[in-house]
Every structure is written in C-alpha cells, then in structure tokens.
Structure 1
Amino acid sequence: MRQELQSLPKTLADDVARNLVMTGRLIDEDAEGAYAYAKIALRLASRVAAVREAAGFAAYANQKYEEALAEFRTARRMTGNVELWPVMADCERGRGRPEKALEMAGAPEVHKLDKAGQVEMRLVAAGARRDMDQVDAAIVTLQSPELASHSVQPWTARLRYAYADALLAAGRQDEAREWFAKAVEADRDGSTDASDRLAELDGVEFVDALDEDGNGAAEPSEAGEDAGTDRD
C-alpha cells in the first residue's frame, strides 16, 4: 500500500494514508466510522488500487454489498490479482444472488488462489448452499482435507465452526457438538462464538451474578433448583 501511495504527491499521500489507517483501526469495532474514513481516502485517491480495496472492505462491513462489489471489481481490474475473488462472491450472496456465488466458486480464478483463499471460497460456497436451503450440500462442500487436518491454521476455527453449524441445521446434534468443540480448540483469539454454541448444546445457562437492581450478589437458589446450571 505504501508503494502504491508513492505515486501521489507526498502531502496527499500522507492524508490518504492517515484515512486508510483509521479505516483499518475502526473497521471491526465501528464500521460506520471506518466507512467514513474510507470514503475520504477514496475521494482523495480513487486511482489507487489499495484505496479502492479499502473502500470495498469498509462498504462490505456496512453490508453495502453493491458498493463493495463495485470497488472490489475496480481494484481487481487495476491489479489483475484474484485475492478478492472470495469476498466478491460473498458480496453476490449479500445481494441475494447465491447462484452467482456458486458460479464464481467453480470459476478458473479459484485455482489461482492460495490455500487461505481456497478455504475462504469453500466457506462462501457453503454459505450460498445454505442460502438456497441446501444444507446437506453445504455439509459436503465443507468436507475437505483442511477440515480433516489436525494442524491449526488461521482459517481452522471458522471452517470447523461453519461445519458444526451446518450439521446442527441438518439435525445432526451430536456431530455438531463434536465439531463445535473442535472449533473451540482452534479458536485461540475468540474469532467465533463456538464456546457459547457448545455451552448451549450442553444445556449450560449463564446467569447474571448481580440481583435485578445490580446492587449486589444474587441470593443463592435452593439446592437442586438450578441443577446443571453454571454461572460466570
């Protein structure tokens, strides 16, 4: 990104960089704020591919899928890279076009993706299947060497989580529980709510430790009244 900005006058490049930095800082916690900064960067340097890509992700985070797809397409035309192919397909899902997402999942571009990109494409394809109420097909789509592998990669937790969620949607609760547990093992940074889903399947109920007024600890219940219930 820094190299791309070198094509701009230094003062302008600095202004664009500041807005891109703020976009990156806010996108996970304040999507609207990130979008605002991305739009400023886009206004200042619309001919820079990295700016187009950042604007696309900011729009995507705000569920502005039409806009995100347009920005990703522009960035791809400018660079020739295929890295954005999975998120472009997911934008098609967001637009209510899961069939188009599946078409993209079978395109030659997928073979040019690295392993992480291919896994991401598999997740998008499975999501598209579920959009079309094809849960069993979604399960089959997620079954892969990456899912079966015991090594933990950046995508492992999300892949296992998606598989568990699809199994649960198919009514295969015992298998779903097993895979939610495996997702928890791989989810080192808490990127999913797999632990909550696992607790829910195990019948664990979390209750507030404060009373209704929030002034102190709740009175303990009678013995056996909350059997099987954990508290945090």
Structure 2
Amino acid sequence: MQSLPKTLAEDVAKNLVMVARLIDEDPEGAYGYSKVALRLASRVAAVREAAGFAAYANQKYGEALAEFRAARRMTGNTELWPVMADCERGLGRPEKALDMAGAPEVHKLDKAGQVEMRLVAAGARRDMGQLDAAIVTLQSPELASNAVQPWTARLRYAYADALLAAGRQGEAREWFAKAVEADKDGSTDASDRLAELDGVEFVDALDENEDEDVSGEEQAPAGPGEGDKE
C-alpha cells in the first residue's frame, strides 16, 4: 500500500476494511468491495489476497486460487498454501490437494498453518471416500493435546465428524464433547451435533407460544354481535 499515492491508498484501504467487515455475514457484499479494490490496485499483494478470500467465501474457487497464486508470487510467502489446497478440493481435485499437503512448502508453515493443512488433507481423503485415512490424518500431537489453541475446536470437530461418518458413534460423541469444551466463541456447531447424538430436541419457544395463542383463539367463544361482523 505504501507504493500507492495517498488518496488512492486511502480508497483501497476503505474497500479492504469493508471486505474484512462483511466477509462472514455478507460474502457477496465483501466480494463486491474486493472487486473495487482490485480495480484500483491489482499490483498490491494485500488486495489480491483479500480478493482471494472474498471469492473463496463465495465458493468461486477457481477465481480464489488465481488470486492466492498472484499474492504468493508477489510476496513469496507460503501462508496461503492450505487455502490454495482447499480451493483445489473445491474445484473437484482432491488428489491435487493431497499432493500439496506433501509438498516442501508445508514445512515452512507455522503451527496454525500446518494444522490447517492437516484439516484440508483429511477433507481431501474424505472427498475420495477414504474415511479411515482421513481419521488417521487428523490424529496428531495437536489433537491429543489438552491445551486449547485457536485451531483446537475445529480440529476436534473434524475428527469427531470423520469418526461419525465411519460409524464410530461412541468415539464421535466423545470428540464432539471435547470440541464443545474448546469452542469458546461458537465457531462450530459442535454443541448441536452433540445434542443430536444424545437425542435432544430443541423447541422454538416463540413458535410454541404462537401455537398456544392460535389454540386459545380457536377455543374462545364469540362475543355479543361478533357473528354478524363481516
């Protein structure tokens, strides 16, 4: 951004802020702002990266992959390697994602990036119908650790989900419970999955009250003269 004229840099920054603000709740809106930033400063790595994440959030995996590759060429960083591999999954190429999981670039990732790569590789195994291999892929020191890290809930959740898909319901329940323990910000629906396994059904209190109101109206006797109203 420092290479841009001040006014242009400010305009680009405003659009990038909107991308970050909207990407979770309004992916389409974030995508629109990313395209504006891209038109203004396509030679800025941060802009290409933001455009990649906006496209990724909208399941435009081919476009996202192109933007991530461009950002990586500009910076030389490997931190986008896992999400690039996940784009290959989105494009129906799990074998390519697995190739990337075994590439030298993975060793250059920090711990969070390596865990993310493991999640992508397990997902690729599941895409290929290799459930047992997916389970083994997720078994790691990070999974076994009692320490809660930013990735812990998602890692435990993925492991529980893979176990459940393999018919190992008892183990799956145990790991969904562990995911709930680590999921302080509700980033997964582990609590719902756990309740489902335990046979718990949730009733919407608002709907229940509405049903009671309707029932009450049907049973209430007509007042004087009400039968003559049109």
Is residue 2:183 matched to residue 1:180? no
2:23 equivalent among 15, 27, 33:
27
Q: CA deviation at 1:117?
A: 0.2
1:11 equivalent among 7, 11, 35:
7
Give the corresponding residue for 2:225.
none
CA distance, structure 2, for counterparts of residue 218 and residue 93 of structure 1? 49
2:188 equivalent among 175, 189, 192:
192
How do 1:15-94 and structure 2 match up within 5 A? 15-94=11-90
Q: CA deviation at 1:216?
A: 5.2
Q: CA deviation at 1:210?
A: 3.5
Is residue 2:164 matched to residue 1:168? yes
Deviations 1:77-119 (A, max 9, x none): 0000000000000000000000000000000000000000000
CA distance, structure 1, for counterparts of residue 9 and residue 149 of structure 2? 35
Could you tell me the TM-score, scaled by structure 2's length?
0.91
- RMSD of the TM alignment (CA)? 1.4
Q: CA deviation at 1:195?
A: 0.0
Give the corresponding residue for 1:142.
138
Name whichever structure is richer in helix by fraction. 2
For 1:105, give the aligned amino acid. A
For 2:132, give the aligned amino acid. D
Q: CA deviation at 1:207?
A: 1.2
Give the corresponding residue for 2:94.
98
Give the corresponding residue for 1:202.
198
Give the corresponding residue for 2:221.
none
Deviations 1:152-204 (A, max 9, x none): 00000000000000000000000000000000000000000000000000000
Aligned length: 215
CA distance, structure 1, for counterparts of residue 31 and residue 204 of structure 2? 35
CA distance, structure 2, for counterparts of residue 134 and residue 92 of structure 1? 17
Query: Radius of gyration: which is bigger?
Result: 2
Q: CA deviation at 1:25?
A: 0.1
Gaps of 5+ in 2: 216-230
Gaps of 5+ in 1: 220-232
Q: CA deviation at 1:214?
A: 2.4
CA distance, structure 1, for counterparts of residue 207 and residue 56 of structure 2? 40
How do 1:113-128 and structure 2 match up within 5 A? 113-128=109-124
Counterpart contact for 1:211–1:218, Cα < 8 Å: no
CA distance, structure 2, for counterparts of residue 210 and residue 50 of structure 1? 45
Deviations 1:55-92 (A, max 9, x none): 00000000000000000000000000000000000000
CA distance, structure 2, for counterparts of residue 178 and residue 170 of structure 1? 14
Q: CA deviation at 1:211?
A: 4.5
For 1:171, give the aligned amino acid. G
CA distance, structure 2, for counterparts of residue 66 and residue 211 of structure 1? 42
SS in 2 for 1:126: helix
4+ long deviations beyond 4 Å: 215-219
SS in 2 for 1:214: helix
Q: CA deviation at 1:29?
A: 0.2
